[in-house]
Structure 1
């Protein structure tokens, strides 16, 4: 909190302040100088006091407090600098919660529940600890029975059988034979040994989606819906519930894991699974469905739990009884009776799985404000509220088009207005086509409200010309997209059309910023997450010199059409993002009418799926280029700590793969080494929980090949190798003697 500059002046007697006012306030100006220095000194004293406590100290103080407690640090912590990336890495190497709980952990050393707390505090991963000796098949003494130990399979309970492979076996309750391999072996790890203890860590996170429209899959039938607004299958995830006590061992309800069909169902008196579990469905739970006026008028807000029935909808063939709705949580599908479809739409609230705060969502994010901006609020249709049929207060609108029309009228009345913020208030669908023509010096920010994920659906309404989010403007104009999910079409930035007029050529958009957004690769998705329009770009720069900046976003291909009058190439800055051309063989960044895109690119911590064809690369670092890179100018720029696909033409490379690995091998083995040092992804289809994540079997040169020994690519900021090493160090310190503990991944 900043103290007032007039704090000393306000303490002066009124007589002196009156005389000072008569003379033009020289005393006030002098005391303001003293007040500023006093404020700085007071803030520094306050900061020194706060640094005495682990809860309030600065990040750089955490390792020092840990050293006073004898907290063991990884060797990398000693080499940290003062850069921003180093601060983020420092928070992983010396987690504040782990240091704060050091004394408590030493008191609980050797207990099973402590291992789960270590995973959460040291690595930031929710986890479940399992003692494998309790799952060994052995004959029990009749006088000392253990009914909760592993037993034989009950084929009448398919839910227990499903646990064998679910979440990598973290919840397996069946008996197994003894495995003599060690849990901590570097070669082939064993599981079911007497001294083995496993910590099943959940690296995927569970993200909420609140009251968003479900997608009607009309090609399958008007009674078929998907939870995902894009129409693709998506497994529903558990909304984690806090554990009741520190000694409690985590169950499925406490972890961000996918929902099993048999867990979503409640076993009835007739040994059937015809009803949903009240643990998972309802307000504040993992799943909730709204169907206004279904099955009868005045009902369906929300749909009662008694009307739900879990089902396998893998082929969309299921006979749903009248008055019921079938739900498949493993695919994110639901089906109503064919003769009793909801006529007023379906809305859903659910949880989906993803690895990081990326591409927009209902997660907290820092949203910069435009200075002196007018703010308009746009609302979407909700199950119990239609903004087009309700009276809205001033500054609130039922559509983006209405807000833009009001802005045009306001600028006409007050020409000095230059900045506008359009905030989308709900996680709903905002439809239509948008054509923005910015005046000189005008700035517009189209953003999501806090904790929302609005969907901007660009419709194909004009048969004679392409439909997109079209942007054009005058000198110094600027557009910011923040927190949006854009589907149906792409974003097109066009420059001036009069090529013969040099003055007109200067009237162009200055900058386009895309932050925490998803421009769906391929525009929209099939049920299997395959793109519907795989060859279409998500961003088109058509004859413009605008600078494009993409941060923490997921976008499809970027297409650049150069203007007739060329000056310096416009800048393209990609940071912590995914550029997905939907296939490695397609062009991710390029020009449709030229050999290379006329841009100067800076690419940091990105994953690029597809070929890259650029005029120049000023800097590329900590990134993965899954397709060949072709840079026209190789005399300037640098590529460092990246994976560059073979056959690429780039500026000077430093510590890049597979070049570094191949240079250390004899010529006869370089081809084999080139294949070994290749990024392996869990999934390359947008819409899946493991999208663009490196597989655990990927080589160490890529999983730990970034400049700070984190993973290359878009998930660099997660620092998963450091988290794993930190957790392994803690397990070695706190497990009981003669116990072999290891880390297994539930996701």
Structure 2
């Protein structure tokens, strides 16, 4: 928001100007439409008066931790003697101060430690007293486990036996339950173990008397509603939930409750991949329409399938009936109507007709709000999209977007109101002035063209800019869009092109250079490139996932600015091929080679060789770079071998895509200026949050216990 949105600066400048004698005002400037030095001085004084007025207006809000400015948080922490963690984000510090007394009243309890960790980090957390998972001989002071007077449900409620395996507390494991056995060595383990004397770290040293296991789920579960599934070309009864035709694991929605309403959490309440056995045991909790109203509360269920009959107009939820489960995740059930395969992100429809139309809701896992997705794309203090009325609202999928755009020239805003797949390419002209093509917040429309017959020409998404004799240039804004398969082409003249929270599918090319894998419908998973064939003065990329960017023919790009983004190119192709461009990257991960004219990098991971032609300008600071690169001066940066193993996965579509390994060197995982990790996920502050947990747990842990940190995702 602009500092002058309240008009205080103009108000005080005009008020002071009117207080001056008319003689001085008239002598200030001989021209009525020009400001003289006296008027300039008065306006500067008015700006300072506006600052004082805003400070006075904020005094009342600064009395409360919920509404105070960020700089006030430290002073309120001093009043409560809160051990405030330096470097933690404002959200975590604010909640720490707001709940200090609340934490101290419940100090040392497992629910309090779980809630403290969740408030500081925003992650889902479960604490397990691992000394309770020790196998031992029971004595007469222990409560009776069995007996005819105690029902199995009562034994489970009292913690005397496992819910799935019925294993008695401290006793021998009952391995007859597959669903219970797969939970061994997890946060939901129902078995008991011999004591370990090793130090509690990672996957070792869990089971001992002074051990408290703290299980952390760092990945986010992103909801996607009303998505067009992809029919398998080799098996017409199979469909993928993912609209690009990939096999991806389905995630459970985060439904953990803390505070006074907290109860022992179940596995399906945490943002993690849904396994087949989990879906079988918790089908009713995981499957339903997203964001339905139950008992006065909104419950965000994990997945749902909607079917439209050939004669119908609306999609209806395929209901789940426990008494007649024709919708199931158990492949052993004979001939179900629908079979869900959550590990692959697929469902099977028995005897599916070619005319049947489906929509799906599901959750996908990812590390951060980067790229197109169903999350809240807004940022504090920033406006999303244009303020003018949209030229049109598109919400039907298919070729409706191409029909709505036409051929141009276009100005204003076109809004896409759903997460359907749009299957037609377009070549539109952008008139002088701004043109915005954006998705509604919490929506992720996919632009993925239909499979073309062999030999058919490519049909890209082309935007053609223009300019007027007076010098007005086109401006293009793309927000929240997912481009898949074909390329995005910029032709003509653009003064400015801005991509915000967009995804240009980088594809899944194999490292050995063989033929790329194909989606379920047979379309190859190739990179979607951003090709510049015209003249673009400035290209801005904010929180995006992109394939290669390059200029072609007579195309030119003067300046490229990338912030909080991931760029990936297939082997043998540069991620950036911009010979005459000034490139500035901040908190980015570059997976591929690059060749640019000038280069600035701040808190980046340059995973492959980068060649910069002008080394006299620019700087690479707090970044990781590959050996063999030609870079300008470097400051507090780290060198490693090209394409070193740093990431949990480089395959786009995986939940851990571009996430740093837990074994990554500290110089990278804590190498940013503020102590967080380098690269695109610096914004998540993983290292700072982990440090905050260690500091706060030292304050609130019971005497004699030590935490064991276990990162589940």
Aligned to 1:514: 499
In the alignment, the residues of structure 2 paired with residue 48 and residue 112 of structure 1 have an alpha-carbon distance, to the nearest angstrom, of 38
Aligned to 1:638: 619
Q: 1:601 to 1:120 in 2, by over 3 A?
A: same
| Farther-moved stretch of structure 1 (607-616 vs 682-691) | 607-616
Aligned to 2:434: 443
TM-fit CA distance, 1:244:
7.2
2:456 corresponds to 1:474:
no
Aligned to 1:16: none
Q: 1:245 to 1:545 in 2, by over 3 A?
A: closer
Among candidates 292, 299, 311, match of residue 308 of structure 2: 292
Among candidates 283, 288, 295, match of residue 281 of structure 1: 288
Aligned to 2:405: 404
TM-fit CA distance, 1:36:
10
In the alignment, the residues of structure 2 paired with residue 553 and residue 717 of structure 1 have an alpha-carbon distance, to the nearest angstrom, of 13
CA contact (8 A) 1:539 1:556 kept: yes
**Residue deviations 1:250-288, cap 9 Å, x none?**
332432222221121149xxxxxxxx3345434532111
2:377 corresponds to 1:365:
yes
CA contact (8 A) 2:171 2:192 kept: yes
Aligned to 1:273: none
**Residue deviations 1:389-430, cap 9 Å, x none?**
xxxxxxxxx82233224x95xx7xxxxxx7310000111112
Aligned to 1:586: 573
Q: 1:404 to 1:555 in 2, by over 3 A?
A: same
Aligned to 2:294: none
2:675 corresponds to 1:709:
yes
TM-fit CA distance, 1:581:
0.7
SS in 2 for 1:113: helix
CA contact (8 A) 2:626 2:642 kept: no
Alignment of 1:656-695 (within 5 A): 656-658=637-639, 674=640, 678=644, 680-695=646-661
Among candidates 160, 170, 173, match of residue 153 of structure 1: 173
2:45 corresponds to 1:54:
no
Q: 1:465 to 1:523 in 2, by over 3 A?
A: farther
**Residue deviations 1:341-373, cap 9 Å, x none?**
463221111111111111021222237467674
In the alignment, the residues of structure 1 paired with residue 137 and residue 229 of structure 2 have an alpha-carbon distance, to the nearest angstrom, of 52
Among candidates 552, 573, 588, match of residue 606 of structure 1: 588
Q: 1:716 to 1:494 in 2, by over 3 A?
A: same
In the alignment, the residues of structure 1 paired with residue 314 and residue 203 of structure 2 have an alpha-carbon distance, to the nearest angstrom, of 56
Aligned to 2:666: 700
In the alignment, the residues of structure 1 paired with residue 349 and residue 177 of structure 2 have an alpha-carbon distance, to the nearest angstrom, of 27
SS in 2 for 1:375: coil
2:578 corresponds to 1:577:
no
**Residue deviations 1:38-97, cap 9 Å, x none?**
9876643331111111111111111211121111134x44xxxxxxxxxxx5426x5211
TM-fit CA distance, 1:732:
0.9
Q: 1:691 to 1:716 in 2, by over 3 A?
A: same
TM-fit CA distance, 1:298:
9.6
Aligned to 1:82: none
SS in 2 for 1:265: helix
2:706 corresponds to 1:740:
yes
| Farther-moved stretch of structure 1 (296-305 vs 461-470) | 296-305
In the alignment, the residues of structure 2 paired with residue 102 and residue 259 of structure 1 have an alpha-carbon distance, to the nearest angstrom, of 35
Aligned to 1:204: 219
**Residue deviations 1:91-122, cap 9 Å, x none?**
26x52111111111111111111110111112
2:184 corresponds to 1:164:
yes
2:487 corresponds to 1:483:
no
CA contact (8 A) 2:393 2:416 kept: yes
TM-fit CA distance, 1:142:
5.1
Q: 1:602 to 1:140 in 2, by over 3 A?
A: same
In the alignment, the residues of structure 1 paired with residue 343 and residue 636 of structure 2 have an alpha-carbon distance, to the nearest angstrom, of 42
SS in 2 for 1:335: strand
In the alignment, the residues of structure 2 paired with residue 444 and residue 626 of structure 1 have an alpha-carbon distance, to the nearest angstrom, of 35
| Farther-moved stretch of structure 1 (684-693 vs 471-480) | 471-480
**RMSD of aligned Cα (Å):** 3.5
Q: How many residues align?
A: 630
Q: Which runs of 5+ in 1 are unaligned?
A: 10-32, 78-88, 268-275, 383-387, 389-397, 412-417, 496-507, 591-595, 659-673
**Residue deviations 1:283-311, cap 9 Å, x none?**
532111012229x9899711111354444
In the alignment, the residues of structure 2 paired with residue 377 and residue 222 of structure 1 have an alpha-carbon distance, to the nearest angstrom, of 35
TM-score by length of 2: 0.81
TM-fit CA distance, 1:573:
1.3
Alignment of 1:20-59 (within 5 A): 43-59=54-70
SS in 1 for 2:84: coil
